Chain A
Amino acid sequence: MRVDPVTLEVIRNALLAAAEEMGVGLQKSAYSSNIKTRLDFACAIFDSSLRSIVQALHIPSMLGALVTVVPATVADYGAENLSPGDGLIMNDPHRGGTHLPDISLITPVFHDSEIFCYVANIAHHQDVGGRSPGSVPGDTTEIYQEGLIIPPVKLVERWEVRGDILKVLLANVRSPRERVGDYRAQVAANRLGVRRVKDLMKKYGVEALQVHMEELLAYTERRMRSALREIPEGEYSGEDYLDGDGVTREPVKIVAEVLVKGGEVTVDLSASDGQGPGPMNATMASTLSAVSYIFKCVADPSIPVNDGLYRPIHIIAPEGSVVNARPPAAIAGCWEVGQRVCDTLILALSKAVPDRVCAAGKGIICNISFGGIDPRDKSLYAFYETIGGGYGGRPTKDGMDAVQYHLTNTQNAPVEELELRYPLLIEGYELIPDSEGPGKHRGGLGIRRDYRFIGHTATFSILSDRRRFAPWGLFGGLEARTSRYIINIDSENPKELWSKETIRLNPGDLVSVQTPGGGGYGDPLERDPNLVLMDVRNEKVSLERARTFYGVVIDPTFWRVDLDSTERLRRALSGAQGGESS
């Protein structure tokens, strides 16, 4: 059968529309705000050989999720044990999953008596039990503490949810009624997906659809390979560290050796540290998300995502390492590890394609969760959020101030919404001056968010990083300020916290969470003095810092750059710098 580019484009649109429609359905009917407003889910169609044909996703952390979960789950359960209208669920990180709150549902689509393809979705449930509300604890030592583990099981049989299994699922979570809404939404999404795929099977015929699906994979692969060919061939390596494993404060090393050759890339993570005793461990799925995300960004962000995208990307991640942990490792911090894998890869690629990368940004997810008893109505409350920070400086422009970074893109909670609901006062939510990594193109500023707990004792958890190792700069750009976590910053005895802690707070306590800035790109002495002037005027960079790091002398009365003094100072500074380095 002949594949023509017109029918191919029409079928591609139709398949993507089907997956997107599943996503819209899921988002609308789910209950968890992670699904609803943070778009922390993905929908996809897989062919009978378990290759992804089309994926609709918003959040980069989901890039490697379904492509790992679906083949693993179906292989484990056995395709021969599936009937029309069945749905397999699964969340086990050690069987192909990411972290426990990400639950997948997979449904086969039959043609006559054979499986033609699968539709699948994965969604972040607000809670899956375990030792802390929200199921992202910061101090676990094995997976069993993090929540309910669901191996591949049939939750749905001929479109009926199996009550006995559902009972088990709900008995293990904190808000069962809401979780029913999430499961129901996942089932409805697959049902919609099956209907749409069947429409297409009828319209184009099974054979033609099959042929065009195959061609879609080849098409994406062609585009990915041609984009990868634009990266100069060679071996590039990068190395970076996590503050600690969550139990000890020993740094955790991540090493990426990247080999680019013949339109393919091999990412060897073997030299990374072994898995740790705490929650700072990744699974193969989360590592794949990080790696494929970086290559999608650097190669060509517009390439449609299917099996063809991953074909030219090879990952070597030894089992038992921090990037591919073995059971029963705790993995609640897998996205913190993922962020660092991204940083490491960018560092490696900066040597190959310096004009396509950014310096290191905040480098963390920054999981903040807390809870207690609300003194207003004595009810139990729990809250979870992540906080943005600086983005890395870029070849042509500054890094953004105060944004989410790499694998995550979660919105903040409005302060008025937060205070209406919880016994809190957010005393400030602002940029941190001088937190940028100086550079010709400076990094973005970090964020400071100060939480005051009113009239009750609360439990406060941080699962974050970059307290010790600052986001680095590139090509002469300097590092940014690290993260900091401080209790009672307004008192005489402020106390600094580590990046992974769970503590008890007294009524009236103030916790200041301060996220890192982004590293600079290029020599700060080459920064346009007028940009430095604007930064100083905007109080993003202090007068003093403008002199020391950028060599720019500013007259703060008339807001002018003193050009002569600047030139002299820059000459002196670059002389001193040159002397040191040579």
Chain B
Amino acid sequence: MRTQFKFRIGCDIGGTFTDILLINEETGNISLIKRPSTPRNPGDGALKGIIRAIETTHTRPEEIDYICHATTIATNAIVGQVELPKVGLITTKGYRDLVEIGRQIRPDPYDLFVDKPRPLVPRYLRKEVYERITSDGRILRELNEREVRKAVKELAAEHVEAIAVCTLFSFLNSRHEERIGEIIREEWPEAVVSLSHEVLPEFREYERASTTLINTYLLKIVDRYLGSLEEGLREIGVKTDLLIMQSSGRTMASKMARKKPVYILESGPAAGAIAAAYVGRAIGHPNLVSFDMGGTTAKACLIEEGWPKTSTDFEVGGKVAEGRILRGSGWPVKIPVTDLVEISAGGGSIAWIDSGGGLKVGPQSAGAYPGPSCYGEGGLEPTVTDAYVVLGVINPDYFLGGEMPIDAMLARSAVKAKVAGPLGMDEVEAASGIAEVANANMMRALRIVSVERGRDPRELALMAFGGAGPMVAGSLMEELRFQSVIIPEAPGLFSAYGLLVTDIGHDYVLTRVGKTDEIDPEALNRGYNGLEEEGLKDLTSEGFSCDRMVMKRSADMRYLGQSFELEVSVPIGKITKNMLKAMEMRFHAVHRKRYGYAHAKEPTEVVNLRVAAVGVTPKMKLRRQRKRRRDPGGALKGVRPIYFRKRGDYVRCPIYDRYRLYHGNVVEGPAVIEQRDSTTVVNPGCEAVIDGYRQILLASHA
């Protein structure tokens, strides 16, 4: 892999739009192509977009050094937007219903009409075979191969296309699963096979089975999708390997993703947090909260010491209420997923009055169509965007740089009819109320990732982006007392930027349970070595030499007898009794940091071994501008009345053109800074400073 890149492409397929970002690192030129997504054939949309980006910039395809893609294909397939193959399951006798019972909880205990997610495989395609391995890895009952052959024949007769195998304790002894895999291949070579100990050699049978099944479902779909995209890129002359964004925020080669498709489930959402973390590291803000607010949702993520955290508590197809996962609403997938909080609150969120006379915003959204009332596409419900039009923040003549006409009268009448009238207010008061209530929702999300995790906002910056983020960030900063707000140069494309600034990486896990003071260090050494060998093999196949590989070890540990774990980092090298002691100390420290206390004398146990194998990719450099004078006068483009709740009235407000603001300029609030893809509000009592990277830094004078 080269150490210096010339052209980078990021391609992010979202629900409404497909964004293609092309950056020329030599000149610093950035071009963005935005195309409507083509849900029926997403790969085609992506390819056409990439071709257009290459053509409009007159780039030679062979000069492209880096191309990374975030795709929703995997999630869409699982939630039913793509036809899934017929899959069968083979499991231990007595455990056929494992994937249907799940964790036996209702996703919402107060809703008598709630449902559990449907079982991933219908009962008649789940087969049991006689075999049993015990918790010490011993074979208690030998596999009955005749039963396996019979099960395979029955599944074949049902025309299943793929078979998942998950037997108890296969993470300790994989012999039976392997043998079942062999028999399937003998009996029925066409079938795609996924063995649970290969997909996720981790304990807890329901979660392992669920992860394995999701992987099985995706194998063919993702293979076909990425295969044709790779081929398309080759045909137009792109030489570099396609990279795919994973849920963890790292990428992997497309050919690898085709083998481990479960890892690309949450491919898109993490990109914004990755971009924020990268910029944060580059400009000396390693601790921050990234805040991405778009049309329908807002996402917040805590970034510490330069990196977002990941968690393995993810459920695909799961529902979220006010930023919290409704446990049991989806199918668990135990892969590392960037730990972000998402709430249904964006520019398109609808304001309404409930039966008790309360003003609510969301979770319903006007979506892309009809969209907010002011779009004039027939939407009659007042949205957050409509409110900001009424308040004068959004310039009707310069929405998306003027490409999207906005009708302020429609915004006004929707706010009047649905909110102001029923509450007996005027429409300005009502619009300001809508903005305020929407902010209260965002604050819940921001609190969850900061104060609830024991982090003080005063020590954190808030990096705000997405179309709507810069509009509200200043008020959120004041309310929650964030240290400052950072608004990147192009807030609307910032998420896609995340695709261009991350490393390749693979995550591996293996369960080895044992008391920390009793466990055999050799067992751990074998475990870690095995995982690292896998990492070495995978990274080598992706073209990395050893000097560009980093192996990061960690272990999930817990107090003996508890049923939840904490991840503790583990140094590279041979594990000894002494090192186990050090791991235990480290666990107490992590526990104290996370929960505020530790039981230093309590025995602990090691549960899972983890290795993250990272292939370091050359990063872009941020370009620094030279400092100019303080006066932003050159960027002044006009004055218009804007309503500020603090002042209780409209204030004549200077409007600045972001493209003519330079390093060192200081804009005193109240003011508004406009750019094509976003509008930044500088509240009274705040100031905006343009830094050397053309970012806006908002701070409060208070």
Given A402-B100, A402-B104, answer yes or no on A428-B115 (Cβ-Cβ < 8 Å). no
- Would you call A447 an interface residue if the criterion is a C-beta within 8 Å of the partner chain's C-beta atoms? yes
For A4, A9, A387, A388, the residue with the greatest tally of chain B CB atoms inside 10 Å of its CB is: A9
B104 in complex: contacting residue of A14, A397, A411, CB < 8 Å: A411
Docked pose: A404 CA to B597 CA in angstroms: 33
Residue of B nearest to A450 (CB): B94
Residue of A nearest to B96 (CB): A430
- Would you call B423 an interface residue if the criterion is a C-beta within 8 Å of the partner chain's C-beta atoms? yes
The answer to whether A21 touches B596 (Cβ under 8 A) is: no
The answer to whether A36 touches B112 (Cβ under 8 A) is: no
The answer to whether A416 touches B95 (Cβ under 8 A) is: no
Given A59-B109, A414-B205, A416-B204, answer yes or no on A37-B134 (Cβ-Cβ < 8 Å). no
- Would you call A298 an interface residue if the criterion is a C-beta within 8 Å of the partner chain's C-beta atoms? yes
Enumerate chain B residues within 8 angstroms of A8, measured Cβ to Cβ: 358
Docked pose: A538 CA to B118 CA in angstroms: 13
- Would you call A425 an interface residue if the criterion is a C-beta within 8 Å of the partner chain's C-beta atoms? yes
B358 in complex: contacting residue of A5, A387, A412, A430, CB < 8 Å: A5
Given A414-B204, A428-B95, answer yes or no on A9-B360 (Cβ-Cβ < 8 Å). yes
Docked pose: A25 CA to B594 CA in angstroms: 10
- Would you call B206 an interface residue if the criterion is a C-beta within 8 Å of the partner chain's C-beta atoms? yes
- The distance from the CB of A194 to the nearest CB of chain B, in whole angstroms, is 15
List the one stretch of B443-451, B651-659, B686-694 in contact with chain A: B443-451
Residue of B nearest to A401 (CB): B100
Number of residues on chain B facing chain A (CB within 8 A): 67
Docked pose: A394 CA to B122 CA in angstroms: 21
Given A13-B440, A58-B109, A415-B205, answer yes or no on A388-B94 (Cβ-Cβ < 8 Å). no
Enumerate chain A residues within 8 angstroms of B108, measured Cβ to Cβ: 301
- Would you call A380 an interface residue if the criterion is a C-beta within 8 Å of the partner chain's C-beta atoms? no
The answer to whether B135 touches A219 (Cβ under 8 A) is: no
Given A13-B444, A404-B105, A427-B94, answer yes or no on A539-B110 (Cβ-Cβ < 8 Å). no
In residues 468-497 of chain B, which contact A (Cβ within 8 Å)?
none
In residues 285-312 of chain A, which contact B (Cβ within 8 Å)?
293, 296-298, 300-301, 303
The answer to whether A17 touches B444 (Cβ under 8 A) is: yes
B135 in complex: contacting residue of A21, A227, A394, A420, CB < 8 Å: A420
- Would you call B359 an interface residue if the criterion is a C-beta within 8 Å of the partner chain's C-beta atoms? yes
In residues 269-322 of chain B, which contact A (Cβ within 8 Å)?
none
In residues 321-364 of chain B, which contact A (Cβ within 8 Å)?
354-360
- Would you call B509 an interface residue if the criterion is a C-beta within 8 Å of the partner chain's C-beta atoms? no
The answer to whether A5 touches B423 (Cβ under 8 A) is: yes
Enumerate chain A residues within 8 angstroms of B358, measured Cβ to Cβ: 5, 8-9, 12, 219
- Would you call B268 an interface residue if the criterion is a C-beta within 8 Å of the partner chain's C-beta atoms? no
- Would you call B116 an interface residue if the criterion is a C-beta within 8 Å of the partner chain's C-beta atoms? yes
The answer to whether B437 touches A9 (Cβ under 8 A) is: yes
The answer to whether B562 touches A36 (Cβ under 8 A) is: yes
- Would you call A410 an interface residue if the criterion is a C-beta within 8 Å of the partner chain's C-beta atoms? yes
Given A6-B437, A410-B105, answer yes or no on A425-B110 (Cβ-Cβ < 8 Å). no
- Would you call B579 an interface residue if the criterion is a C-beta within 8 Å of the partner chain's C-beta atoms? no
Enumerate chain A residues within 8 angstroms of B436, measured Cβ to Cβ: 6, 9-10
In residues 6-34 of chain A, which contact B (Cβ within 8 Å)?
6, 8-10, 12-14, 17, 20-21, 24-25, 28-29, 31, 33
Given A5-B423, A21-B447, A447-B104, answer yes or no on A416-B109 (Cβ-Cβ < 8 Å). no
For B132, B597, B599, the residue with the greatest tally of chain A CB atoms inside 10 Å of its CB is: B597
* Residue interface mask B560-597, A partner, CB < 8 A = 1: 01111000000000000000000000000000001111
Given A29-B595, A177-B602, answer yes or no on A222-B205 (Cβ-Cβ < 8 Å). no
Enumerate chain A residues within 8 angstroms of B169, measured Cβ to Cβ: 416, 419
- Would you call B161 an interface residue if the criterion is a C-beta within 8 Å of the partner chain's C-beta atoms? no
- The distance from the CB of B497 to the nearest CB of chain A, in whole angstroms, is 31
- Would you call A431 an interface residue if the criterion is a C-beta within 8 Å of the partner chain's C-beta atoms? yes
The answer to whether B433 touches A429 (Cβ under 8 A) is: no
- The distance from the CB of B319 to the nearest CB of chain A, in whole angstroms, is 14
- Would you call B124 an interface residue if the criterion is a C-beta within 8 Å of the partner chain's C-beta atoms? yes
In residues 65-105 of chain B, which contact A (Cβ within 8 Å)?
93-98, 100-105
The answer to whether A388 touches B104 (Cβ under 8 A) is: yes
The answer to whether A415 touches B441 (Cβ under 8 A) is: no
For B113, B203, B355, the residue with the greatest tally of chain A CB atoms inside 10 Å of its CB is: B355
- The distance from the CB of A373 to the nearest CB of chain B, in whole angstroms, is 16
* Residue interface mask A167-201, B partner, CB < 8 A = 1: 00000000001000100100010000000000000
A429 in complex: contacting residue of B94, B134, B135, B356, CB < 8 Å: B94
Enumerate chain B residues within 8 angstroms of A6, measured Cβ to Cβ: 359, 432-433, 436-437
The answer to whether A414 touches B97 (Cβ under 8 A) is: no
- Would you call B452 an interface residue if the criterion is a C-beta within 8 Å of the partner chain's C-beta atoms? yes
- The distance from the CB of A342 to the nearest CB of chain B, in whole angstroms, is 11
Docked pose: A413 CA to B561 CA in angstroms: 12
For B102, B168, B356, the residue with the greatest tally of chain A CB atoms inside 10 Å of its CB is: B356
Residue of B nearest to A415 (CB): B205
Enumerate chain A residues within 8 angstroms of B601, measured Cβ to Cβ: 177
The answer to whether A293 touches B110 (Cβ under 8 A) is: yes
The answer to whether A537 touches B124 (Cβ under 8 A) is: yes
- The distance from the CB of A13 to the nearest CB of chain B, in whole angstroms, is 4
Given A420-B513, A428-B94, A429-B97, answer yes or no on A409-B135 (Cβ-Cβ < 8 Å). no
Enumerate chain A residues within 8 angstroms of B140, measured Cβ to Cβ: 425
B101 in complex: contacting residue of A20, A188, A223, A388, CB < 8 Å: A388
Please list the residues of chain B having a beta carbon within 8 angstroms of any beta carbon in chain A.
93-98, 100-106, 108-113, 115-116, 122-124, 132, 134-135, 140, 168-169, 203-207, 354-360, 423, 432-433, 436-437, 440-441, 443-444, 447, 451-452, 513, 559, 561-564, 594-597, 599, 601-602
A293-B110, A400-B115 provided; 15 other pairs, C-beta below 8 A?
A9-B437, A17-B443, A58-B109, A177-B599, A219-B357, A220-B356, A297-B110, A358-B112, A388-B105, A404-B104, A415-B205, A419-B134, A419-B135, A425-B140, A538-B124
Q: What are 18 pairs between A and B in contact, CB < 8 Å?
A: A8-B358, A29-B596, A36-B563, A184-B597, A226-B356, A227-B355, A301-B111, A303-B356, A358-B112, A400-B116, A402-B101, A402-B104, A411-B105, A413-B563, A414-B204, A416-B168, A417-B204, A447-B101
Q: Which 4 A-B pairs have the closest CB atoms?
A: A428-B94, A388-B104, A6-B433, A223-B356
